[in-house]
Amino acid sequence: MCGIVAAVTQRNIINCLLQSIKRLEYRGYDSSGLALINKNNNFIRFRSVGKVNELIKKIKNKKLFGTIGLAHTRWATHGKVSEENTHPHISSHIAIVHNGIIENSLQLRSFLEKKGYIFYSETDTEVIVHLLHWEQKKTGKPLLEVISNILIKLHGNYSMVIMDSNNSSKLIAVCSGSPLIIGLGVEENFIASDQIALLNITKRFIYLKEGDIAIIKSEKIKIFDKNNLIIQRKIVKSNIKYECINKGKYKHYMEKEIYEQPISIRNTLKNRLKNNTTIYFPELGLKEKNIFLHLEHIQIVACGTSYHAAMVSKHWFESIANIPCDVEVASEFSYRKLAVRKKSFFITLSQSGETADTLRALRISKKLGYLGNLTICNMQGSSLVQESDTCLLTKAGIEIGVASTKSFTTQLTVLLMLVAKIVGIKKKENNIEKQIVKILTILPYRIEEILKKNKEIKNLAKKIYNKKNMLFLGRGDQYPIAMEGALKLKEISYIHAEAYPSGELKHGPLALIDKNVPIIITAPKNSLLEKTKQNIQEICARGGLIYIFSDEEINLEKNITVLKLPYVEEIIAPIFYIIPLQLLAYYIALIKGTNIDQPRNLAKSVTVE
Ligand code: F6R
């Protein structure tokens, strides 16, 4: 959470900083700020509450010049949303932007107050900058040395960039807990939380590693690792096209990303289906294959939408591969006493690869005796990818809308491939693998078909957009789909929604049923459909307002509307049935006029616990 951009160049950097920080708004959009060093070696700082556009408006007609600067977009943690709490924070000649949380900030603050420092904000970041100033004043040492010395006093996460108005030729970046990436230009260099910020400037990046400290000048870069030794980090050439981060013909990124799902799934499958019979993951070597052969249990840990994908895969691992699988929300997994199953393999799922809860769970898992670990992730070079034994990339392409859509369906695609691969390895016969390969080949076409139902779904949105509460029901592998449908609706339309397994309603939630609570049910034709129909009758009898997505004719009663969907193979039904729910949430939010791509209080990359 929070986005950082900084630049040290030979040209006026102001527009570049503003455009780049705007592209990081998905990381937080409570407030934003910018600081430059001017020709007189003084800081000029502007800060604004709200989106980056507010900051742009504030700066627009000012004649500013600076070749070195910092910018930040904030997702509030310590302290309310206010201009005072907005980064950059300054202490005399030192300015800082920070991403993370300093857990012992209150103690440090009280120490600094005793030394006479006056705090203008409630943030933990202001504590860091005053501490730097105090240590430098006290020791007279160069800033780099002072930074290294104070890090041991900071508990928590502190990826940050520091600028010194007494030395306007360099920036110092510290990477701890949240990503920082150096963008290499020609006689200019940049640092940002994500390459998206810099794609229109450069394609050459260095991913800083945990514990790295980098000195960034316009003509050169020096990196020290966590042991304070100079290190050469690999330069990575990005293949992400700048155009990918535009909305194109769509009104919102979320809409674009929903419609991109057939192509994202095609990219995820590309070069991974061999001879139409086997699944091929070049990422997996002999070691992994040996682990797959011997594993007896799978533990998956994830958050939010990724957790819902994991829940679907539990059904696949158990029903197709006959492997017991447990799924847990990362923030729960990390904070309880765990009993690890015998021969268990650990999997994390994440779009961003930076989710603090999931990262923590991975780090904990490494001490618990799992056979090994694997991450299924959308972001190459992310912390989860770097810290996991193995990674299977989802290849959804950059997802900018805060509400995940294409990441979910590509995660499910990789998970289904993984299930088939493990079955192939374990059973040494590839019939199931072959069948799944065949079905996966059809999947993008099936998604194209269902996207054509958009008009009907839009009409449904018009009927129910003004309701205050909704229920989502599903059975078996459709229950996680109901959960994901409810999450999408909550996130972008702010309508209260809850998901239940269809059979669970009679154990309490039936009390909620009346004609003002729409009940959305996904009910594909499968062995559970008759049971679901029974549950539908129970709701009907109590006057519930029912909307069913199904590929089966379901006898119409007065208060039931069936949205007939095309046929889909049972195994891939979860990937298929989430599409109408994504569209429903999108169209409801569109009618309500909410901020679909940047819903209130949220951010895309959740780098705090
Ligand atoms: C919901 C959503 C979040 C994320 C969650 C985990 O639309 O996007 O619930 O799924 O924060 O994020 P990742 O997958 O990046 O670990």
Rounded to an integer, the average pLDDT of 7-11 is: 96
| Residue 488 or residue 245, greater confidence | 488
Could you read off the pLDDT of 434-459 as tens digits, one per residue?
A: 999 999 999 999 999 999 999 999 99
Q: For residue 518, what are its two tokens?
A: 């729409």
User: What's the gap in Å between 560 CA and the centre of ligand 1?
Assistant: 33
Residue 26 pLDDT more than 90? no
Q: What is the pLDDT of residue 484?
A: 98
Give the C-alpha separation, 230 to 514, whole Å. Answer: 67
Q: What is the pLDDT of residue 43?
A: 97
The 3-state secondary structure of 339-364 reads CCCCCEEEEEEECCCCCHHHHHHHHH
Q: What is the pLDDT of residue 395?
A: 94
Q: What are phi and psi of 167, to 5 degrees?
A: -145, 90
Q: What is the pLDDT of residue 178?
A: 85
Give the C-alpha separation, 39 to 367, whole Å. Answer: 53
Could you read off the pLDDT of 129-173 as tens digits, one per residue?
A: 999 999 999 999 999 999 999 999 999 888 999 999 999 999 999
Q: How many CB atoms lie within 10 A of CB 469?
A: 13
Specify the residue for token string 């998901």: 499
Average model confidence (pLDDT) across the chain: 94
Rounded to an integer, the average pLDDT of 72-94 is: 94
Give the C-alpha separation, 602 to 591, whole Å. Answer: 20
Contact at 8 Å (CB) between 250 and 401? no
User: What's the gap in Å between 603 CA and the centre of ligand 1?
Assistant: 9
- Nearest Cα to Cα of residue 261 among 482, 524, 577: 577
Give the C-alpha separation, 30 to 82, whole Å. Answer: 8
Give the C-alpha separation, 49 to 54, whole Å. Answer: 7
Least confident of 64-78, 188-202, 523-537: 523-537
User: What's the gap in Å between 311 CA and the centre of ligand 1?
Assistant: 14
For the question of residue 63 being annotated catalytic, the response is: no
Decide: 378 in ligand 1 pocket, CB within 6 A: no
Give the C-alpha separation, 121 to 134, whole Å. Answer: 17
237: three-class secondary structure by DSSP: strand
Would strands 297-302 and 344-350 be described as parallel, antiparallel, or unpaired?
parallel
pTM of the model: 0.88
CA distances in angstroms from 190 to 9, 88, 129, 410, 513, listed in the order given? 8, 16, 21, 32, 56
Least confident of 154-163, 325-334, 550-559, 571-580: 550-559
Sign of CA dihedral 187, 188, 194, 197: negative
User: What's the gap in Å between 530 CA and the centre of ligand 1?
Assistant: 33
Of residues 22, 51, 488, 604, which has the active-site annotation? 604
Q: For residue 406, what are its two tokens?
A: 């294409």
Q: How many CB atoms lie within 10 A of CB 391?
A: 21
Residues in a beta bridge with 377: 350, 393
Decide: 383 in ligand 1 pocket, CB within 6 A: no
Nearest-5° Cα angle at 98, 97 to 102: 140
Residue 603 pLDDT more than 90? no
User: What's the gap in Å between 443 CA and the centre of ligand 1?
Assistant: 23
List b or e across 317-350, with b for residues whose CB sees 16 or more CB atoms inside 10 angstroms.
beebbebebebbbbbebbeeeeeeeeebbbbbbb
% of the chain at pLDDT higher than 70: 99
User: What's the gap in Å between 606 CA and the centre of ligand 1?
Assistant: 8
Spell out the domains of the chain, with CATH numbers in brackets.
3-245 (3.60.20.10), 253-449 (3.40.50.10490), 454-592 (3.40.50.10490)
Residue 428 pLDDT more than 70? no
Identity of the highest mean pLDDT range in 175-179, 221-225, 271-275, 381-385:
221-225
Least confident of 93-102, 259-268, 556-565: 556-565
Residue 498 pLDDT more than 70? yes
Query: What is the chain's alpha carbon radius of gyration, rounded to the nearest angstrom?
Result: 26
Residue of minimum CA distance from atom 5 in ligand 1: 304
Give the C-alpha separation, 496 to 360, whole Å. Answer: 30
User: What's the gap in Å between 604 CA and the centre of ligand 1?
Assistant: 7
pLDDT band for 556, please (50, 70, 90 cuts): low
Q: What is the pLDDT of residue 309?
A: 98
- How deeply is 191 buried, as exposed, middle or buried, from its count of CB atoms within 10 A (0-12, 13-18, 19+)? buried
Decide: 361 in ligand 1 pocket, CB within 6 A: no
Decide: 597 in ligand 1 pocket, CB within 6 A: no
Q: What is the pLDDT of residue 103?
A: 92
Least confident of 87-101, 315-329, 378-392: 378-392
Could you read off the pLDDT of 249-288 as tens digits, one per residue?
A: 999 999 999 999 999 999 999 999 988 889 999 999 999 9
Residue of minimum CA distance from atom 7 in ligand 1: 403
Of residues 2, 303, 377, 391, which has the active-site annotation? 2
Q: For residue 69, what are its two tokens?
A: 């600067």
- Nearest Cα to Cα of residue 268 among 396, 417, 447, 446: 396
Q: Which of 349, 352, 411 to mutate to test the pocket of ligand 1 (most atoms within 8 A of CB)?
A: 352
Decide: 371 in ligand 1 pocket, CB within 6 A: no
pLDDT band for 595, please (50, 70, 90 cuts): very high
**353 CB contacts (<8 Å, ≥6 apart)?**
375, 377, 378, 379, 382, 383, 384, 385
Q: Where are the beta strands (DSSP E) in 502-568?
A: 518-522, 545-550, 560-564
Q: How many CB atoms lie within 10 A of CB 62?
A: 9
Q: For residue 392, what are its two tokens?
A: 């299977």
Q: Where are the beta strands (DSSP E) in 370-523?
A: 373-377, 390-393, 469-474, 496-501, 518-522
Q: Which atom of ligand 1 is nearest to the CA of 352?
A: 15
Residue of minimum CA distance from atom 4 in ligand 1: 304
Decide: 351 in ligand 1 pocket, CB within 6 A: yes
Decide: 304 in ligand 1 pocket, CB within 6 A: yes
Q: Which of 26, 254, 305 to mutate to test the pocket of ligand 1 (most atoms within 8 A of CB)?
A: 305
Q: What is the pLDDT of residue 4?
A: 97
Least confident of 193-207, 283-297, 528-542: 528-542
Q: For residue 521, what are its two tokens?
A: 């049910």
Q: What are phi and psi of 411, to 5 degrees?
A: -60, -45
For the question of residue 244 being annotated catalytic, the response is: no
User: What's the gap in Å between 107 CA and the centre of ligand 1?
Assistant: 33
Q: Which atom of ligand 1 is nearest to the CA of 355?
A: 16
pLDDT band for 77, please (50, 70, 90 cuts): confident
Q: What is the pLDDT of residue 449?
A: 97
Rounded to an integer, the average pLDDT of 367-384 is: 93
Q: Which atom of ligand 1 is nearest to the CA of 303?
A: 6
Least confident of 351-365, 509-523, 549-563: 549-563
